[in-house]
């Protein structure tokens, strides 16, 4: 199977720019564009300053996110080939019936190129907005079951669940060309991996990991798929990989040492910090996005946490260096079963001056990997 290579694009205003990102990705030869679904970004406004990064001149707030469903619909009309996906949404903010209808609609608007990227959700996108984040994994599992029922049932049906109760529910909107949108699940822990094997058409992890860990987790998914009577090979092995492509290795280390890289490291789990021989500044059992809401911390608290950062936190799990070095980093993942790589360019965190060189580097990486 030929490796597919996509790119993660930020759905930010002006919306014409975001749609143009999808068109540029298609022109550059990428196979997919994944748009995150956020109400709140990872960085508190208190540290989003010109001193931290020149990116502030282009994006005055870290919390400016367009609705990715609208963006995908528009991008679908502006492109012809690339797959378009959420990377990822959740069933806490968007209930299963609405997800089922939205992605059927997006499948029609993109000519069958829409992918429902979904996960259990994040604390920052739910709790600040009055939504209950508890039981998020159980909620996701039930939502996936309901979405499949809505798509596949030909008659009105009832469903008595823990979170949703359906009474003669029906969804007669037809699938585009008789094919339902693929469901890709963002999963990392054992239970989520098993859910991916039972319900997913693709796996879309994003937490930094080694190639060995990637292969081990993919094996859990494939076993769960087989146990559920599915063809294990039908679950596409995807991965959103954070990447820094620079003209030389030293420059990539400079980017990785920038203030906003330190702020991004605060979002990482305590386990990732421990691998670097460091204690997570927010606690020894900190679970990253399951525990983190950036605006719940003061500027002093975040600044102090950032001061604990060392590039060792990301050094072994974030692809960085020249294009050739990034390719060398990725190849073991391909050997471990990676089939669809989505590159997330984090070089821009250090400043907009890195945007164009990084884009050219990512294109070089994608071209080389596909061949």
Three-state secondary-structure class, residue 80: coil
Residue whose pair of structure tokens reads 């907009």 in the numeric block: 352
Q: Which are the contacts of 43, defined by CB distance < 8 A and separation ≥ 6?
A: 62, 260, 263, 264, 294
Phi and psi of 128, rounded to 5°?
-65, -15
Phi and psi of 15, rounded to 5°?
-65, -30
Describe the crossing of helices 259-267 and 299-307 by its angle, rounded to 10 degrees.
100
- Domains of the chain: residue spans and CATH: 4-245+318-370 (3.20.20.30), 258-310 (no CATH)
CB atoms within 10 A of CB 167: 9
Q: CA 53 to CA 258: how far, in whole Å?
A: 8
Phi and psi of 133, rounded to 5°?
-90, -10
Q: Whole-prediction pTM value?
A: 0.97
Query: 164: exposed, middle or buried (C-beta count within 10 Å: 0-12, 13-18, 19+)?
Result: middle
> Which residues lie across from 320 on neighbouring strands?
244
**DSSP code string of 254-294:** HHHTSHHHHHHHHHS-HHHHHHTT---TT-TT--GGGT--G
Q: Which are the contacts of 250, defined by CB distance < 8 A and separation ≥ 6?
A: none
Q: Taking the chain (371 residues) in consecutive chunks of 10 residues, what is each chunk's mean pLDDT?
A: 93 96 97 98 97 96 98 98 98 98 98 98 98 98 98 97 98 97 98 98 96 98 98 98 96 96 96 96 94 97 97 95 98 98 96 94 95 82
Three-state secondary-structure class, residue 33: strand
CB 236 within 8 A of CB 339: yes
Whether the ω angle into residue 14 lies within 30 degrees of 0, i.e. cis, is: yes
Closest CA to 113 of 196, 26, 17: 26
Phi and psi of 258, rounded to 5°?
-70, 160
**DSSP code string of 36-69:** ---SS-SS-GGG-STTT-GGGGT-S-TT----HH
CB 118 within 8 A of CB 92: no
Q: CA 266 to CA 281: how far, in whole Å?
A: 7
Residue whose pair of structure tokens reads 């959740």 in the numeric block: 90
Which two structure tokens, joined as six digits, stand for 288? 């990253």
């Amino acid at each position: 199977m030929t490796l597919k290579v996509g790119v993660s694009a930020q759905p930010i205003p002006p919306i014409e720019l975001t749609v143009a990102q999808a068109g540029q990705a298609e022109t550059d030869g990428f196979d997919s564009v994944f748009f995150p679904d956020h109400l709140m970004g990872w960085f508190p406004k208190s540290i989003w300053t010109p001193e931290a990064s020149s990116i502030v001149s282009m994006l005055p707030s870290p919390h400016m996110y367009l609705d990715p469903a609208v963006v995908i619909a528009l991008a679908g009309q502006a492109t012809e080939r690339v797959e378009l996906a959420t990377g990822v949404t959740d069933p806490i903010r968007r209930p299963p019936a609405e997800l089922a209808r939205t992605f059927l609609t997006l499948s029609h608007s993109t000519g069958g190129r829409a992918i429902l990227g979904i996960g259990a959700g994040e604390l920052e996108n739910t709790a600040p907005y009055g939504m209950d984040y508890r039981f998020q994994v159980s909620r996701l599992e039930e939502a996936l079951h309901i979405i499949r029922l809505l798509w596949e049932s030909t008659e009105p049906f009832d469903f008595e669940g823990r979170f949703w109760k359906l009474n003669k529910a029906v969804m007669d909107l037809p699938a585009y060309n008789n094919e339902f949108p693929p469901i890709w699940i963002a999963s990392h822990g054992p239970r989520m991996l098993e859910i991916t094997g039972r319900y997913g058409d693709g796996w879309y992890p994003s937490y930094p990991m080694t190639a060995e860990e990637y292969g081990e987790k993919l094996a859990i998914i494939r076993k769960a798929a087989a146990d559920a009577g599915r063809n294990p090979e039908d679950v596409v092995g995807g991965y959103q990989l954070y990447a820094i492509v620079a003209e030389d290795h030293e420059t990539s280390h400079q980017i990785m040492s920038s203030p906003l890289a330190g702020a991004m490291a605060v979002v990482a789990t305590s386990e990732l910090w421990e691998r670097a021989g460091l204690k997570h500044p927010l606690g020894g059992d900190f679970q990253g996005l399951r525990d983190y809401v950036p605006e719940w911390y003061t500027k002093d608290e975040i600044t102090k946490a950032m001061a604990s950062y060392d590039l060792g936190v990301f050094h072994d799990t974030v692809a960085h260096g020249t294009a050739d070095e990034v390719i060398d980093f990725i190849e073991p993942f391909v050997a471990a079963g990676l089939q669809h790589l989505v590159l997330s360019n984090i070089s821009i965190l250090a400043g907009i001056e890195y945007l164009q060189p990084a884009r050219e580097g990512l294109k070089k990486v994608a071209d080389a990997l596909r061949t």
